[in-house]
Amino acid sequence: MCIFTDCLLSPLLLWSAIIGVTIYLLKEYMQGGKFIKDTDESGKVFIVTGANTGIGKETALEIARRGGTVYMACRDMNRCDRARKEIIKETNNQNVFSRELDLSSLESVRQFVAGFKKEQDKLHVLVNNAGVMRCPKMLTKDGFEMQLGVNHIGHFLLTNLLLDVLKKSAPSRIVVLSSLAHTRGAINLADLNSEKSYDEGLAYSQSKLANVLFTRELAKRLEGSGVTVNALHPGVVDTELARNWAFFQTNLVNQ
């Protein structure tokens, strides 16, 4: 004979374990394959946008650990500098640099590229990682809807301004962080800038679809150049990207 609370607790523990295992297996499934090859990236130059936190920071850290030269392109220089120091301390790689890049300003994009080209004459990998998600309706400095402007237009200009260096450094590559949300997206030609109506989810999906369409077209145009272009869906990752989404503004996820 069991005490009532003990009898009740056992099924709860069982269900908690089942749910925990299910979540773990789902995460492993969605994560896909893991790159485990130990490569040496010494002598190669990388740019990672939004490298002060989340996926961008982990990418910059891993590149630095493998000996690459990393340019951390970020809007918030205080956070970028802190992340840079942490990466250097962990990897002992001094070739990690923080540079200002505000993707909501086309002028800032041009200034970043001009500064980079003064320092480097080669670029092996460009990682277009930075992004915003489901933010309130805002406009970039150039008047674009913020999600489309940062996630697509800013990176579109950045990539095109760096193509000459990428081609000269071939074999090289461009990596575009998109999202599975692109499958829910549509390019609203009648209201591309969301001036008539604004839905934060639809605007985000449109920007991610723009990422994928840009990737596909650019890959075609660069065939034979030695520059490859790929887009990826990073899966479910605990980053600050969802900081504007009310669903995640709870104690369940520490953002």
Catalytic residues: 204
| Element of type H or E holding 45 | strand 45-49
Listed in sequence order, the residues at least 6 apart from 89 whose beta carbon sits closer than 8 Å to its beta carbon are none
CA distances to 15, 63, 114, 223 from 100, rounded to whole Å, are 48, 19, 12, 31
CA distance linking residue 142 with residue 140, whole number of Å: 5
> Any long-range contacts for 108-115 (C-beta under 8 Å, 24+ apart)?
109/154, 109/157, 109/158, 109/161, 110/157, 110/161, 112/73, 112/158, 113/158, 113/161, 113/162
Closest Cα partner for 91 from 106, 120, 69? Answer: 69
Around 97, how many Cα atoms within 13 Å sit in the side-chain half-sphere?
Answer: 16
Q: Are the C-beta atoms of residues 148 and 214 closer than 8 Å to each other? A: no
Output the six-digit token pair for 232.
């990826």
The percent of the chain in helix, strand and coil, each rounded to the nearest 5, is: 50, 15, 35
CA distance linking residue 141 with residue 195, whole number of Å: 16
Listed in sequence order, the residues at least 6 apart from 181 whose beta carbon sits closer than 8 Å to its beta carbon are 204, 205, 208
Pairing assessment for the beta strands 96-100 and 69-74 based on DSSP bridges: parallel
